[in-house]
């Protein structure tokens, strides 16, 4: 076994190889504190027949329940389909590594990261990126790495490297940064509003310094056990064929790529390609794939050069220009809040549903049992891009886009103590031509305000792109799907007028410099503020009242020792209140009670019943009580539900009473006054004092 070590934030990062998974092309075990992951990489030895035009890389991150000393919950006591966290972490690792593979490598490649031991370091995802990079680097799989990664927490402008579970709760903002020794290739983060973009840039710089150290230790491992890399021979298309395709299509492609409408542009390009295929293919030699590749290359160069040389985009916009924006709210009558947000040819419908604590998502994770009171679910149906595909459960892309939008909006939600609702936003993409996740942020924010949720401020999102060739660089605002496909960067930024709440950057090159990120952030800020102004024309802030069909939640506090009385034996009392009033009741361990009902009268009725149950006797107060038991020396009278006091025979009347039953019977209702409550809570009552007060009140 071979291992290398590095001091990292007071702990030792250890990368080992040679003990586990020896038949994989590359395998590493990475340890930091009590967290241990295994990363394996395998690539098929042969390239697929007929070739591919994409790199078939699959990254899977899986958490073993035993790593935290747990047995999976539910009926099936083994790990099942990937959890949302596992899907998001798989995407995170994939996005960090994919740009680093050499162009022309098309062998199917799989990387699997398994969490073997889970400590409170909270960096299994970071170790996954490092471990996978190291596993590929020491293997024969072609790779232009290594890649390093760290997590940065920001507290009052100060940075914490790889914050643990406790520290991360105190962070204002957290971000994950991955990169090579030369540049950053992936960033994502979120949290409270960051008003100064320089803070984020400085955090990324700090992260990159640590990334370089992590890469050095991987290089040390490669120098000891690294295998020779496979030779990558990119497919070569003859100049003769490229020239032939160019002669037949160049001028027509120039016209087609400037058609603003996405579908019309694509139809025009498809017709040109079909014509070229017909003319250049012969019965003796079918070269369709090479023709398509040459055609795509010509199209890509035309679009990129038009932007770089003329500052003109496919739909005629300037680099910093945003497409037309339109929005509507309250368009669905029975939802609690709804909004339609349209930007160019991207259209998003968002619907908000408000629920109670019963509706919270319960998550069985390695950290323990968690609950989630805010959820955003993103759907991307095939009709949104004019395609026919079977509907399946949400894919990785949908889960990732939904989480990005959820992170963006979460920062502005009210505290649960102020607004004790479970909130769910569903985003349905009805039409897409780039940046549908950012449209989700805008429509989700508008739908929340339409529902009357008191968010701190509206949130908007925008996607930035990059076209770079040599010394020429152009940053694009509000990118089209075409620009995302043919460009070099996808940088999504969300925030309020006061600052950034979330961002995510992916690149298709070997990385981007600080200068490019700085320009992109500044351009994104200008675009974000413009979109917020357009949104305010539709709805400037939360409505004063909740939607008609939304449940009303009323809050009351009782003493913790009274919880048992409200619930009753086996839940009998609380079930009775629910059956009687039709409300939903939730009680926590501190005695905080949330009562939810669409009907306000029913909620108040339930509150009155609970007040009666938990009410306590007050000294010198007169009550209408019920005689429960008669004894020789007096009677026990119930003055509140479950609360009795002693009415001594001497306190029944001003006259001498020889027999209590001469004055009252069990079940009688009588006025009594509390005249004493002793240290252990025993209550003494007086009927004659109550009658005196009654006479006095009549006299007045």
Tell me: the pLDDT tens digits for 524-537? Answer: 999 999 999 999 99
Residues 161 and 203 in one domain: yes
C-alpha to C-alpha distance for 381 and 404, rounded to whole angstroms: 18
Q: Which of 614, 645, 666 is the last residue of a domain?
A: 614
Residues 263 and 183 in one domain: no
Residue 277 sits in a domain whose CATH number is 1.10.10.400
Residues 124 and 48 in one domain: yes
pLDDT at 395 over 60: yes
**How would you class 693 by CB atoms within 10 Å of its CB: exposed for 0-12, middle for 13-18, buried for 19 or more?**
middle
Residues 604 and 634 in one domain: no
pLDDT in tens, 108-162: 999 999 999 998 888 999 999 999 999 999 999 999 989 999 999 999 889 999 9
C-alpha to C-alpha distance for 289 and 246, rounded to whole angstroms: 15
Would you state the structure tokens that stand for residue 101, as one six-digit string? Answer: 């593979």
Least Cα distance to 341 among 181, 470, 534 occurs for 534
pLDDT in tens, 425-439: 999 999 999 889 999
pLDDT at 24 over 60: yes
320 part of a folded domain: no
576 part of a folded domain: yes
Residues 489 and 514 in one domain: yes
C-alpha to C-alpha distance for 555 and 364, rounded to whole angstroms: 28
Strands in 66-129 per DSSP E: 109-117
Residues 34 and 66 in one domain: yes
**What average pLDDT score do residues 537-546 get?**
94
Residue 360 sits in a domain whose CATH number is 3.30.230.70
What pLDDT shows up at residue 60? 97
Residues 609 and 628 in one domain: no
Total number of domains in the chain = 5
547 part of a folded domain: no
C-alpha to C-alpha distance for 415 and 94, rounded to whole angstroms: 34
642 or 306, which is more confident?
Answer: 306
Range of the domain at 291: 239-310
Q: Which of 310, 340, 363 is the last residue of a domain?
A: 310
Q: Which of 562, 595, 614 is the last residue of a domain?
A: 614
Residues 26 and 130 in one domain: yes
pLDDT at 220 over 80: yes
Q: Which residues pair with 397 in a beta bridge?
A: none
Residues 195 and 279 in one domain: no
Residues 419 and 556 in one domain: no
279 part of a folded domain: yes
First-residue to last-residue Cα distance in the chain: 97
pLDDT in tens, 366-391: 877 888 999 999 999 999 999 999 98
pLDDT at 203 over 90: yes
Residues 166 and 258 in one domain: no
Global pTM reads 0.86
Helix-then-strand count for the chain, H and E:
15, 29
Residue 673 sits in a domain whose CATH number is 2.40.50.140
Residues 576 and 630 in one domain: no
């Amino acid at each position: 076994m071979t291992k290398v070590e590095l001091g990292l934030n007071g702990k030792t990062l250890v990368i080992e190889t040679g003990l586990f998974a020896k038949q994989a092309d590359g395998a590493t075990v990475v340890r930091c504190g009590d967290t241990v992951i295994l990363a394996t990489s395998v690539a098929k030895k042969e390239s697929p027949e007929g070739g591919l035009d994409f790199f078939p890389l699959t990254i899977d991150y899986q958490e073993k329940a035993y790593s935290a000393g747990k047995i999976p919950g539910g009926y099936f006591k083994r790990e099942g389909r990937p959890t949302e966290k596992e899907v998001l972490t798989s995407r995170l690792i994939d996005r960090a590594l994919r740009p680093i593979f050499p162009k022309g490598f098309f062998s199917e490649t799989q990387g699997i990261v398994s969490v073997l031991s889970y400590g409170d370091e909270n960096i299994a995802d970071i170790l996954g990126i490092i471990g996978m990079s190291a596993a590929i680097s020491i293997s024969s799989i072609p790779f232009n790495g290594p890649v390093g990664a760290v997590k940065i927490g920001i507290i009052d402008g100060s940075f914490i490297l790889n914050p643990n579970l406790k520290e991360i709760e105190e962070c204002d903002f957290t971000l994950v940064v991955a990169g090579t020794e030369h540049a950053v290739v992936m960033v994502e983060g979120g949290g409270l509003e960051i008003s100064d973009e320089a803070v984020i840039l400085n955090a990324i710089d700090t992260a990159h310094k640590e990334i370089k150290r992590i890469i050095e230790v991987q290089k040390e491992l490669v120098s000891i056990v690294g295998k020779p890399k496979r030779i990558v021979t990119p497919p070569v298309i003859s100049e003769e064929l490229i020239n032939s395709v160019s002669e037949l299509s160049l001028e027509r492609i120039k016209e087609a790529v400037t058609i603003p409408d996405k579908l019309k542009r694509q139809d025009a390009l498809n017709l040109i390609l079909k014509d070229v295929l017909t003319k250049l293919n012969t019965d003796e030699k079918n070269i369709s794939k090479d023709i398509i590749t040459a055609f795509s290359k010509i199209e890509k160069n035309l679009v990129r050069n038009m932007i770089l040389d003329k500052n003109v985009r496919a739909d005629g916009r300037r680099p910093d220009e945003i497409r037309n924006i339109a929005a509507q709210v309250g368009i669905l009558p029975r939802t609690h809040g709804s909004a339609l947000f349209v930007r160019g040819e991207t259209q998003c419908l968002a619907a908000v549903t408000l629920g109670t604590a019963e509706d919270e998502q319960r998550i069985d994770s390695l950290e323990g049992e968690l609950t989630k009171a805010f959820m955003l679910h993103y759907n991307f149906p095939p009709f949104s891009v004019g395609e026919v595909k079977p509907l399946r459960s949400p894919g990785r892309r949908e889960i990732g886009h939904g989480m990005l939008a959820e992170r963006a909006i979460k920062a502005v939600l009210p505290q649960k103590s102020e607004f004790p609702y479970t909130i769910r936003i569903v985003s349905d993409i009805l039409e897409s031509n780039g940046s549908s996740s950012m449209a989700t942020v805008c429509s989700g924010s508008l739908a929340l305000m339409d529902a009357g949720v008191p968010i701190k401020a509206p949130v908007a999102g925008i996607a930035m792109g990059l076209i770079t060739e040599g010394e020429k660089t152009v940053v694009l605002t509000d990118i089209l799907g075409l620009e995302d496909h043919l460009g070099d960067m996808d940088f999504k930024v969300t925030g309020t007028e006061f600052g950034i709440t979330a961002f995510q950057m992916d690149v298709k090159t070997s990385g981007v410099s600080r200068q490019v990120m700085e320009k992109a952030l500044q351009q994104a800020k200008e675009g974000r503020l413009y979109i917020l102004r357009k949104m305010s024309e539709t709805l400037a802030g939360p409505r004063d009242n909740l939607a008609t069909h939304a449940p009303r939640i009323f809050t009351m506090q009782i003493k913790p020792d009274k919880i048992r009385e409200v619930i009753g034996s086996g839940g009998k009392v609380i079930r009775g209140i629910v059956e009687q009033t039709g409300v939903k009741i939730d009680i926590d361990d501190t005695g905080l009670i949330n009562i939810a009902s669409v009907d306000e009268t029913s909620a108040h009725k339930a509150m009155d019943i609970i007040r009666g149950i938990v009410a306590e006797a007050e000294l010198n107060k007169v009550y209408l009580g019920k005689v429960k038991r008669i004894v020789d020396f007096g009677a026990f009278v119930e003055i509140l539900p479950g609360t009795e006091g002693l009415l001594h025979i001497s306190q029944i009347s001003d006259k001498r009473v020889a027999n209590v039953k001469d004055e009252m019977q069990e079940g009688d209702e009588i006025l009594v006054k509390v005249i004493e409550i002793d240290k252990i809570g025993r209550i003494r009552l007086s009927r004659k004092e109550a009658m005196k007060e009654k006479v006095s009140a009549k006299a007045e």
